[in-house]
Structures are given as structure tokens and as C-alpha cells.
Structure 1
């Protein structure tokens, strides 16, 4: 195809290549609908690459279940021996995928390279993990990575959407969108053809593939669909050449020539004819369709009986010799299409295990699903094993609902078989999965059933794990610290001699975490457990515990510790590709930003969690609650939709467990000046906490009852709440300031004298908390405190960013590059107060760093 209206994109890509070849590296995303010309652009770029640029090209295949790391297999011949060795080891299950990624990164560091991976919308999970790994480290290597994908096929739940969301945060990622051709370009392509160019433009919508295919049809009239255009190209082919296109259409977009020859021994002479018609092309030992749309058009005309026969032939051919691990997915695919249930049950579970070893959990779940469609052919114990494998793969792929359903089926089968050991382990896993799905009550009940089932059989590693699960749930459920400690100790007593290092660090952590939340002690032990897990390379345990520390520190409003915990959790989880913990940490980080008064940033942070297709209910409940409360504090009327949605995502106990759910609803009623409803909600929340011990939750609800003019019942209360309830508002406010919660400090000042009320009003106004400021003014009027400003100062209203005078002072000093300590010295305020002002300035400016703020100041 002529390079029409693509010159600018090619030149931009050539500039990217030139810059990347000298370092630092870049990623170029080339996107557009099917047939828009992405491959043509890439081919022109390859032709422009100088002799000193190494060109590496790989592609993803449109298989029902993609081959793990398929594009890397394409790249392997052009890479160093170390990469090939690592890749073979990973495919054989002898090494982890991370070793392949590390070797490839080292190989790219050796010389300037152009690495192309086409059709990433078909990528397997392991390949997207590789791209995520490479993207984060790319600035260190002299390479341009060109990634092509169809953006018209990316829905909200498409796996590629999550990868693109990750890449959005990198400044070295460049995007090139290929738009449809204009009427002028379509007319230019149609020069010399007896066609109505306006009709051609209308029918094709400017898609280059459709235009060229329609123009290639030897008919006088313009075909209405691409199906007819492709059929026109196939009309003159011999029967053998047509068989080549038909067989390849059944096999998929691409196939090896040896396999094609095995199915069509007579195709040698016809291959050239099939390629010459413009539908196919060869590349070394592979043959492929030039466009997937062409393959689909051919496939549609192939009779079902012929498709079945081809799949049976392929299955026979591939099974006739040694089966490589990389071929298991293909064998499973063809086995199912051939209607061979026995072969499906032979290859799909093996393909799933291979995918798990490569970290492609989504593909593993798909292979287990394929096997489960034929599960009735197996005895019950083997059926249970498949359901268990599917449940675990779904959990690791963050497909909770499917995983829970499969684990329930496994429990049912194990119970019927009388296999108590495996039944108890399945119950423990089911309990573990139910809590993030928002079913905290059922999670506890199921966890207790797991212990009861396993205790009948004597000590075992499974029983130790079941007690550890109950210890963890006791912390979540805010039970007395002794309950969690007892289960943790029981886990160690039963399972300590099995040498499970993960069990030991988790038992230490959960026992200490219960004390930290209920009694205020245990921080050091929790930190020691996290450090120990990291030091021992217990990646899943370390990532999980690091994420939990974010939750617990945010729940306690400890901004300094929460900030450090979030940074550590994100860094560790990203480094080790623990994406489940990444998303939960981001939800908790939005809560941290809410606590420190950065409501715009908090609201922005919730969106990545709420829009991510694989965020579990518990993460979305936290983010939705933060979003609703941030809106309430800022005076946004759209408060209740996210709060109600959060409440529907999880059960009532879980809403209490996450630590913000009930308090947010109470505060929203208070801000709406509905004190009666606020008190009712607060008493409801305290009733749900009656048998638990969590001073940070019960203390908050008691304080809201007190602020609404009611008399709260005596309940455990954390220090700042206890101080306010005791009438010591000044110390309560000071403690909130120390913790880094300026909004809560202003709330505490509402209980004070006239100067305290004025300080509360100033605090609310500085934060942009209009509803709370209105309540403060009403309270001042009721107490006869004067003067009362009617709203933000005139200087604040006149400022284009809504900065107060004090915030303007801070803003100017940020422009001088001063630290918080230097700003505090210059303005005669505390570093803690300075931090609050800096956070408010960043939020109002809509920037994310001091450096960006300084640039705006200049």
C-alpha cells in the first residue's frame, strides 16, 4: 500500500528511533482499527533504520488461548545466546519468566535496537507482564520498542487496557494514532479504477485495507463488504491454492510451513500461487494472512465439516512427534476444535500448568476452563483437581467470582469423596478468597469450618494454614487481639515444624497487627515481619504484608508512616509484578490523600481503581467511599452514588471492617446538616462493633455522636478521639496535627472557645471544605462569636488557583526550591503545618510534585 497520510507518523517514529538509539530508550504505541495500516507504517520504519540498528520483530497470534511469551519466541533468533537459553528454560519450566526478561534487557543494552511487537491486543498475560517489565526499565537501554494494537477492540475489560493504564504514567512512552484516510487520499488510491470514489469512501469509511481490497476485486461494481472483496481475490485460484487459504484460515492467522505441508503434501506448487493473490505472505518458515479480516472472510466460507477435519489432522500431526511445552496451548486449542475430549483433558491442564509457570495466570484460567468443559469424562477426584487448579488460576488472575465458584465446586466434590484433608484446604482457600470479594461474614464462617474439618484429622500443614487464616480474619474483623494471637500461636504449634517460613512471618505479623490496632502496640513486630519476608525473598508474603501495613497506618491516620508504607508497597509490588497488591495499595493511597486534605488528588487516585476491570470489590469499596467523602467535604452534590455503590459491593460487616465505610456515611449526613440521621447511622455502626475492639473505628463514631449533640455510649477510643470526648479539644487538635490530619484537627477545634472556632473556620476554608466551613459559621453565630467571614477571603477568591495568602507564601518559596524545613523557618510555622500547606498547594494547582509547582511559580 502507498504511504498516504502516514508520512508524519513515520517521520515521528524515525525521530523516536534516532533519539532512542542514542539513549535513553523509548516506547512508541502505534494504534488504530483493524486494517488501518499499522503494519505498513512499521515496515516503512524498518526500511529507514540504519545499518547500525538491530531490528527485532515479533507478533502476537489470535489464538483462543494465546501461547505464553509467543512474541519472544519470534524474537529469539535475533537475540543473544543467553536470551535463547533462558527462554528455553522458562518454556521447559526450569526457570522463571523473570530470568528471560532480565536476559533480554541485558541483551538490548548491548547495541541500538528497534524492537517491534505487533498485535498486542492478542497478547498473553506473560507477554503483557514482559512489556510492563521492559517499559519501566527502558530508559536504561538504547532501544525503541514499537507496539502495535487495535484500539477499536479495547473495551473496559480488555486485558490490554490495564497495561496501557500502567504505561500512561511514563514520560518516555509516545503514542501515534493512525486515523482513517481522507476523501482525497481514497480518491488518490482509486486513480485508474472505474469506481465512484465517494461511494468507495462511504463504504470503506477510509479504512486502507478495505479500500485496497475493494479496489483489487475484479468486479465492475463496488462490493458492499470486505467478504466479497476477498472472495474476488480467491476466484482465480486453483483448487490446491484455495485449500492452502482454507486450511490456514482454520489454523489461525499464522502457521508453520512444515505443519501446512503435513496437512497438504501437494501444496508446494500452489503456495506461490496463493501468496501471489495478495491474501497471504510468507516469512521464513511461516505463512500468514496479510490481514486478519481477510482470514475471517475466508474462514466464514469454509464448511464446518472441513474445519473439523483440518483440526483433527493438525492434532494428529502435532501428536506424532515430541510435544514441546510451547505447543501445549496449540494442541489444546485444536483438540477442542476437533471435538476430542480426551485430547483436551490431556493437553489443556498441562498448558495451564505451563502458563502458571510463566506467570500467565489469565491464560492458565482459560485453559482450565477449556478442560472443565469436558470434565464429565473424568472420575470425581480428577474433576476436583481441575476445579482447584481453575480456582487458583482465577484468583491469581484477579478473577475472584469465577475462582470462588470453582473452589465451592471443589469443596463439594471433596466432601462427597470423603477427602477431609483436601476439603479442609479448599475451605481455607475459599475463606481466604471470600473476604476481598466483600463477603466477610461468610469468610469467617468458612474459615471456622475449615478448622473444624481439619482438626478431626490431626496436626497437618493444612490445619496450620487454616488457623493462620483465622488469625488474619480476626485482625480484619477487629476482634480482641487475644483472638488473633491465639490462632497465630496455634498455627505455629501445629505447623512450625514443617519449616514454612511464610507461615512464621505471617503468624508474627497478624498477632502484632491485632495489638497495634486494638492496643496501640506492635508496630515494631509488624515491621520486623515485613522486613523478614523481604529478606527471605518470600515475595507473596512480603507483598501482602507490605500492603496490609498501608491499610493499618492509613486507618490510624498516621500520615508519615502511611506515606512510607505506600511507597514501599508500590515499589516492592511493582518490582515483583504483584499487581493484585498494587491495585489495593493505590486504593489505600487515595484514603491517605483524603486524610491529609488533598481531596482533588484523592479523587483522582480513586479513578484508576474504580475503572480497572479487575479491581476486586474490597478495593472498589474503599475507593468509592474515599470518592464520596472527598466530594462531601468539597461540597460536591454527587456524594451518595459512590457511597451507596461502595455499600452494595460488600456486606455490612465488611463495610465496618475496611474502617471508613460507616464513618463516611455519618459525616456525609452531618455535612448535609442532618444531625439526627448522622446520629442514627453512628449508633448503627457502634452496634455492629459491639463485640469487637477497634478504638479507631468506635472512637470516630462516638465523636460524631458527640458533635451532633448526642451522648455516645462508652466505647474504646483512640487517643485523639478520647481527648475530644473528654473535652480536651486543644490536645485532640494538636494530636491530629501531629498525625497529619488537618481536617480532623479543625473538627476538634469546633468544640473549643471563640479563638478555637475561628481557627476551625480558617482550617476548613484553607482546605476548601465549604460545607464544614458553613457549619462552623453557624456554630459561631449560635455562640455569639464575631466576626464571622461569609466565605473565603477576597484574596483567595481573586487568586486564579484559589490559593490563600499563606498558600501563596508557600507557593513562592516552592518556586525558590526550598524544603519544608526551610519554608517553615522562613514563615515561622511548624514543618508539619508546612507539609499541609504544600499538599494543599499541589492539589489546587493540579500538579503532583514540588518540581511541577516550582515550574508553575516561575
Structure 2
């Protein structure tokens, strides 16, 4: 079929290929509906280039996609290092680094088709390459169907990639009526009617023009089936057999399926199938689906034939599992699905691993408890890695019951320890403690010293966060003694986390080095969570104990590590901690950006703790809204954890909001607050310092005070480090707290001196209180602060929020804003809410009016 009305998009892609070879890599996102001609356009480009320069990978429409399917398609061309790592199931970060190195060798064009069917690992790969594209002589072209649902996994991937500076998005449009007339010339077809029926879809037009003697079909399906109808029954049967797999069918598989050369020629003659190497492939997924849906007889028979041929020719486990499920072949599902799931997990395709483990579980019989327990344990891990903690805990609880029936005490104890860990991430401190207790009770008497050591290490971690320094020290040291006896560096590093947290909370800054050593152990041992968890905790404690320079350095390294290893819980936690750090440093726009990014990334409650508290505090300081959902959610998460340091920060946030609103907050009288303030705990002095200040301010404002705060150190001999305010450079490091300290002195001079700081921060609600206080003191000529109509960036709006405000002024809905900015609808909702809060307005109309006053346009 002729390539019409594609000169401009082809020129764009051709230009990007030339620039990639000469100036550094480029990325093209090629979007359009099914049949719009994405593949035809890319083939036209490929024909202009040396064959060895073009790499072509496909994402398949399998029920569960092949992990890294496109990479497997091009692995041979990338060299032996990539092939070996792929075959060995190497961790994604090692495999991706090898791919990157292979692509540096010479200019290439890497096409990945049908990204809307990509597995999770492939999505991670294109993100990885996209972020590094400028360092490669590579044109990376990703084709996909546009208009996916808001919750489609492709949406955040495209959102990430389209924002990269070297990315160009190309949208293919339907053919015009004139182009359809050109294609229909000499066929006797009514071009206007063809254009009306096809809406200018090139694939549909091509099917109609190829059979002008037939009646005009009503759909693509009819056009495809009319072309298949010319085949004799035997050839058509083979076409229908091939339609049950979306992948190209190689020569060996054709032979195993009994497709003779003459039949292959006849199938190519229909125009529905093309030659693909020594095999065949459907020209388009539309054609394959049409043939598949119309094929007579039970589909399971075709899938059964396909799986037998695949087994004979060494097919991939994920493809075998797909056909076994479609054939209803339970033994083969049990044979292939767990293998495919494990391969998917190793590749980083954790969503696909979940589906494959579920498929295997569905094929097991109820009385095969050992098999079911093993599959449930593997599924629980993958659910955790895909941010489905509640499901993960439920699945692992079912595994506990099966292991208990099997009399496997060690497995039961180990599962309780794992569930304890996941419950903590889920924000359920009580459940974490209960499972921790159960694990230690069982494993203390079991004959497995290593599992007992890990149970002690977990207890040390939880005890440290509860502020039980002595308990954490005892368990952590016992675990490390076991690690020494077993010569187990992984256990030693894991135990060091809780032990070091307890030491840091007790004032022993030398424990920082132990956390860094534990992370290094994890990196050497390829234990991703051990590599990232120590630095996650270190960054948090550096922030809370005022070591801001050290926190910045640790966070930079930790985030790079967690992103590289794709440990989502640690990435979320670290970026949330950075949001907290930026809040304390007075870098509020950056704090908000980090917080929003975390909330868009996942649902894990522990990871969302700091972002919610940060956003809630910012809202209170900027506009003091009467409803503050972010602070409400942050409070719920904080009270679910048994972590006094975190709870103290949430109490301080509620007290600050109460002071700003001049109204009591009944939550501050709840028993959880009294329990926080009554007993000693490690790190108490630093944690409670902000609570003490806000308690005093509440009393001064005539509001109900907090319960009495204790005095003195946690226990005899304990030290908490310097009292709040004694850290070097605290005033410079914490501008907002320094400004609030001037409120406490109450002098007119101090209040006036604080106003520029508050105005610069965008703390409009707080500044309003200062100005009201000054008026009460009889001060005249109080600076009014920056006027919204004359400020370039009112209320501290981020660059993205200014974009959103401009689109609000145009009257766009949240969905339209999301589409215009290529962000998820959830992200658009967050940004709109933030804009309304910062501007102190209650409706989109008021925001639009404010935008017009300020001269903000889209």
C-alpha cells in the first residue's frame, strides 16, 4: 500500500535519526489508533537505513506478556553479554546497564512496537534508556495506541518519557478524503463512501481496495474475513491455527505445526500474513484478531496444537503458560506458569509475575498444600513488590495456615517475620508487633539458627522505631552474634539496621557508618532491600536530628541506588524524607514537588506518610483551610505506627494547624497523644522539642493545652544529643522555625523582622497572624506583603502549577488538563487542589479570575 500523507511524520523521524547519530540520542513516541500505519511508517524508515543499524522488538498481545519480550527479540544483535545476562535471569539493573553499553557501540535505531502491551520490565527498560538517551548514538522509537484508559500502565510511562528534553511525540492522523480517493483510483469504488466507512483508517482502506469486486464491508473484520475466505479449507485451517499466537511464527515452529511451504505461500498471498525471517507473521493485530474470533470449533484445540509444537521447539515459558491456560491444560499450566512467573520476577516484571502465580494457583488442587503454600509465598512477595500490601499480607496469612497444617514450624515462623515487616510498611504497627512476637515464639525453639537471627533482627528494627533502645540493642547484638557464628554478612547487615537506629536515637553519631556499611553489604550481595533500607533509615534520622548537609548527601546517593535497583518502597520513603527536609529548609516548592511525586507513584502507607504531612502543613501555613485532607491522612498513618518520633511530628502539625485556625483539635486530646508524651523513649528530647513549642503557643492563644510533657532524659545515662536549637546553623537552616521563634518573643521588632521571611516562603496564613498581632500592638505602617496582582509567582506556585492555573483560566476540566500536560488524571487532581489551596480560593472559577488578574495564561 502506498504511503500517503505521511511525509511530515516520516521527515520528523528521519531527522531525529540523523540527529541521534551526530548529536546524541533522541526518542520518538509514535502514537495512533490501531491500523493507522505506525508499522508501515517505521518500515519505510528502516528501508532507508542499513539493515544492521535497525533493531526491531515487539510487545505481544499475550494474556501475560513475555518479560522483556522486545529485548529478547534484539538480544542477538546486542552481543553476547546481553544474551548471557538475559539467559541467566540477571537483575534488571545489571541487564539494563549491559544494554546501555551495547548501544554505545555505533549509531542504531531501536524500534519497540505496541508499547501498550508492554510488560512491566520493558516499561522500566524504556524509562531507563529514555533518561540516558542523550549519551547514546540511538534513535529509540516507541509506537503505541493512543487514548489508553487513565489507569493503564502505559499512562505514567508516556508521562515520564514525554517530559524528557530529547523526546518528540508524533501523532498519526487518519487519511484525508483526497488520499482515499487516490488509493481508490481505478478500482470502481466510491471513494467518498470508503472514506466514510473507514474514517480514513489506512489498514481498513487497504483491505477494501484489495478486493474491489466484493461488496463494501461494514467493518475491518468483514474486510479481513473476505480475504481469508478465498483460501481452501486446509490453508484456512492453518491460518486459523497461526492466529492463536500474537508472536511471529518462525520456520522451526511452522514445521512443528505441520505447515508446508505451499501453505505458507498461499497465506502470504492473502495479504493478511507477511514473511518474517524464515517464518510468518500477521500483518496487523486487527487481522489476527478477526481471524481468531471467527475461527470455528473450540479454540482450546488450536492452543493445544500450538503448545505441543512450542514444547518441541523450546518455546518460552510465558508463551507456553499462555497457551496452556487457553487450552485448559491444567498439568501444563502447573508446569509452565511457575517457571514463567519466576522468570518474570527476576526480570523485574512483577505485575506479570503476579498474574502467572495466580494462574498457577488456580490450577492446583486444594489438598496439594505444599505446592499451594509455595505459590502463595511467591505471590505474596510479588504483590508486595507491586504495591499491593493488603493483598500480600492476606496471601501470606493463607500460606501460614497451610504451613502450619504441614507441620513446618520454621516456615511458619519465617512467614510471621515477613508479615511483620510488610505490616510495618502498611502502617499497622500493632499487627507488625503481633507477628514479630509470633515469629520469635516459634523460631526460638526451632532448629534453624539463621531464621532465628532474622527474627531477632526484625525485632531490633521495630524496637528501635518504638524508642526501646535497650530492647533493640539486645536483639540486634544477639542477631549479630549469630551472624558471626554462621559467617553470614546479610544477617549481620540486617541486624545492624535496628541496632544503628537505636544508637543514633541515643546520640551515638558513629552509628551512621554502620548503616553505610550495611548498605554496602547489600550491594555486594545483590540483596536489593538490604542495599537500600539502611540508607533510607539514615536519611530519615539525619533529617530529624538536624544534620541537613549529611541528609542531602545521603539522599542523593540513596535515591540513585533505589531507582537503579527499583525498590519502590525505599524510593517512596526517601523522596518523602526529602520532601520533609525541603520543608524544614524552607524550600517549599521543592518539598511539594517531591510530595506530589510520591503520591503519584504508589499507595504504600509508610511511603505516603511524610508527603501527606508535608502537604498538610504547607496547606495550613499558606491558607489555613478549614478542611485539610492531607493532614488528616498523615495523622491516620502516623497514629497507626508505633513510632513516637513520627507521631511527635504529626502532633506538632496538628497543634500548628489548631493555632492557625484558632480552634481546638479534639485529636490532640486522644489517648495516643497522652501515651506519646508520658513514657520515656530514645530520641525523646529532639522529637518532643517542636511539640513543646506548639504546646506553649496553644496555651498563649487560650486554646486547650497538650497533656503535660515529661522533663529529663529518657533513662539514666541516656543522651539525646543537643537540645533543639543547639545544632550549628539551625537558624539559617530552618527559616520558618526561626521566624516563628520571633512570634514567641512577642516584640514588635521581632514580628516585623519575621514578615519578609514568611512572605518569601509563601506562608500567607501565618503572616496574616503576625500582621494581626502587630495591629493589636498598635504598630502603624505594617508592610502589606506582595500583592497577588503584581507577583510573577503568587503564593509560591511551582512551574507546573502555573501551567495548571493557566489551563484553569481557559476553562479546562481536570481530565483535559491531564491530557494537555500528558500527566495522569490523579496528578492533575493533585495540582488543581494545590493551586486552589495556595491561592486561597474555593472554586475553579475563583482560580480562573485570580489567573486573569495576575496575567497567568496557558
Smaller-chain TM-score bracket: 0.7 to 0.9
Aligned counterparts of 2:725 and 2:67: Cα–Cα separation in 1: 59
Contact 2:512 2:538 in 1 (8 A): no
Question: Which residue of the partner structure matches residue 91 of structure 1?
Answer: 87
Q: Which residue of 1 aligns with 2:77?
A: 78
Listed as ranges, the matches of 1:581-596 within 5 Å are: 581-596=570-585
Q: Is the 8 A contact 2:454 2:479 kept in 1?
A: yes
Q: 2:63 matched to which residue of 1?
A: 64
Q: In the TM superposition, what whole-angstrom CA distance separates every residue of 1:73-117 from its partner, at most 9, and x where no partner exists?
A: 32134344x24xx41453245x55555444433332222211212
- Superposition TM-score, scaled by structure 2 size: 0.83
Alignment equivalent of 1:702, drawn from 687, 692, 704: 692
- SS across alignment from 2:784: coil
Q: Secondary structure at the match of 2:331?
A: helix
Q: Against the structure 1 CA distance between its residues 744 and 684, is the aligned structure 2 distance closer, same or farther, given a 3 Å change threshold? A: farther
Write the distance in 1 (CA, Å) between the matches of 2:712 and 2:571: 29
Say whether 1:269 aligns with 2:262: yes
Q: Contact 1:682–1:705 at 8 Å: present in 2 too?
A: no
Residue 107 of structure 1 corresponds to 102
**How many angstroms does 1:332 deviate by?**
1.6
In structure 1, what is the Cα distance between the partners aligned to 2:629 and 2:195? 44
SS in 2 for 1:114: strand
Structure-1 separation of matches of 2:93 and 2:302: 37
How far is the alpha carbon of 1:423 from its aligned partner?
A: 0.3
Q: Which residue is equivalent to 1:239?
A: 233
Aligned-pair CA distance for 1:172: 2.5
The answer to whether the aligner puts 1:308 opposite 2:300 as a matched pair is yes
Q: SS of 2:54's equivalent?
A: strand
Are 1:642 and 2:630 matched, yes or no? yes
Choose from 112, 121, 125 the match for 2:116. Answer: 121
Match of 1:481 among 456, 469, 486: 469
CA-to-aligned-CA distance 1:801-830 (integer Å, 9 cap, x gap)? 4699xxxxxxxxxxxxxxxxxxxxxxxxxx
Residues 216-259 of structure 1: CA deviation (Å, up to 9, x unaligned): 56576654432222222222222123223211221234323332
SS at match of 2:355: helix
Whether contact under 8 Å (1:17, 1:114) holds in the other structure is yes
* Equivalent position to 1:774, from 762, 768, 773: 768
Mapped to 1, the partners of 2:464 and 2:482 lie a distance apart of 20
Local SS of the residue matching 2:365: helix
Q: Separation in 2 of the partners of 1:410 and 1:132?
A: 35
Question: Structure 1 CA distance, aligned partners of 2:711 and 2:200?
Answer: 67
**2:820 paired residue number:** none
Report the more deviating stretch, 440-449 or 573-582: 573-582
Secondary structure of the structure 2 residue equivalent to 1:373: helix
The 3-state SS of whatever aligns with 2:244 is: helix
Kept in 1: contact 2:622–2:765 (CA 8 A): yes
- In structure 2, relative to structure 1, the CA distance for the partners of 1:731 and 1:98 (3 Å cut) is closer
| Residues 569 and 607, structure 2, Cα contact 8 Å, conserved in 1 | no
Aligned counterparts, 1:247-286, within 5 A: 247-265=241-259, 267-286=260-279
Q: Aligned match of 1:175 in 169, 175, 189?
A: 169
Q: Which deviates the most, 433-442 or 354-363?
A: 354-363
- Determine if the alignment matches structure 1 residue 146 to structure 2 residue 141: yes
Q: Which runs of 5+ in 2 are unaligned?
A: 714-721, 797-837, 840-858
Matched residue, 2:332? 343
- What is the distance in 2 between the residues matched to 1:776 and 1:468? 49
Q: How do 1:452-471 and structure 2 match up within 5 A?
A: 452-458=441-447, 460-471=449-460
Q: 1:787 to 1:533 in 2, by over 3 A?
A: farther
The answer as to whether partners of 1:632 and 1:668 remain within 8 angstroms in 2 is yes
| Structural mapping, 1:560-709, within 5 Å | 560-612=549-601, 614-635=602-623, 637=625, 640-646=628-634, 652-653=640-641, 658-659=646-647, 660-674=649-663, 676-677=664-665, 680=668, 685-688=673-676, 690-691=678-679, 693=681, 694-709=684-699
Preserved CA contact (<8 Å) 2:519 2:532: no
C-alpha separation in 2, matches of 1:203 and 1:671: 63
Q: CA deviation at 1:672?
A: 2.4
> What is the CA distance between 1:577 and its match in structure 2?
3.8
Write the distance in 1 (CA, Å) between the matches of 2:348 and 2:519.
25
Q: 2:201 aligns with which of 197, 201, 207?
A: 207
Shift of 1:730: 12
Q: Which is worse superposed, 585-594 or 219-228?
A: 219-228
Q: Match of 1:376?
A: 365
> C-alpha distance in 1, partners of 2:72/2:177?
41
Q: Deviations over 1:463-486 (max 9, x none)?
A: 11111112112233x322222222
Structure-1 separation of matches of 2:728 and 2:317: 64
Structure 1: runs of 5+ lacking an equivalent? 720-727, 805-842, 845-858
Shift of 1:704: 1.8
The answer to whether the aligner puts 1:791 opposite 2:784 as a matched pair is yes
What's the CA shift string for 1:441-479, capped at 9, x where partnerless? 211111111111111225511111111112112233x32
SS state at 2:280 partner: strand
Q: 2:289 aligns with which of 287, 296, 304?
A: 296
Counterparts in 2 of 1:56 and 1:450: CA distance versus 1, 3 Å: same
TM-score by length of structure 1 reads 0.83
| Aligned: 1:414 with 2:403 | yes
Q: CA distance change for structure 1 residues 680 and 79 in 2, over 3 Å: closer, same or farther?
A: closer
* 1:282 counterpart SS class: strand
Contact between 1:23 and 1:140, CA under 8 Å: does it hold in 2? no
CA distance in 2 between counterparts of 1:729 and 1:470 reads 29
Aligned partners of 1:593 and 1:601 also within 8 Å = yes
Name the CA shift for 1:241/1:377 in 2 (closer, same or farther; >3 Å): farther
Q: Would the aligned equivalents of 1:513 and 1:526 in 2 still touch at CA under 8 Å?
A: no
Say whether the 8 Å CA contact 2:677–2:707 is kept in structure 1. Answer: no
What's the Cα RMSD here?
3.4
CA distance, structure 2, for counterparts of residue 199 and residue 647 of structure 1: 63
Is residue 702–residue 713 contact of structure 1 (8 Å, CA) maintained in 2? no
2:24 partner SS: coil
Deviation at 1:295, TM superposition (A): 1.7
Q: 1:696 to 1:212 in 2, by over 3 A?
A: farther
Cα 1:304/1:71, change in 2 over 3 Å: same
CA drift at 1:355: 2.7
- Number of residue pairs the alignment of both structures matches: 781
Q: Is the 8 A contact 1:90 1:96 kept in 2?
A: no
Provide the residue aligned with 1:813 in structure 2: none
Query: Cα gap change, 1:681/1:47 in structure 2, threshold over 3 Å: closer, same or farther?
Result: farther
What is the aligned partner in structure 2 of residue 385 from structure 1?
A: 374
Q: Identify the residue that residue 500 of structure 2 maps to in structure 1.
A: 512
* 8 A contact 2:624–2:657 mirrored in 1: no
1:833-856 superposed Cα distances (whole Å, 9 cap, x missing partner) = xxxxxxxxxx99xxxxxxxxxxxx
Q: Is the 8 A contact 1:391 1:406 kept in 2?
A: yes
Residue 491 of structure 1 and its aligned partner are, at CA, apart by: 1.6
What residue number does 1:808 align with? none
In the TM superposition, what is the alpha-carbon distance from 1:410 to its structure 2 partner? 0.8
Q: 1:104 to 1:611 in 2, by over 3 A?
A: closer
- Taking a change above 3 Å as real, the CA distance of residues 731 and 96 of structure 1, as seen in their structure-2 partners, is closer
Equivalent residue number for residue 735 of structure 2: 742
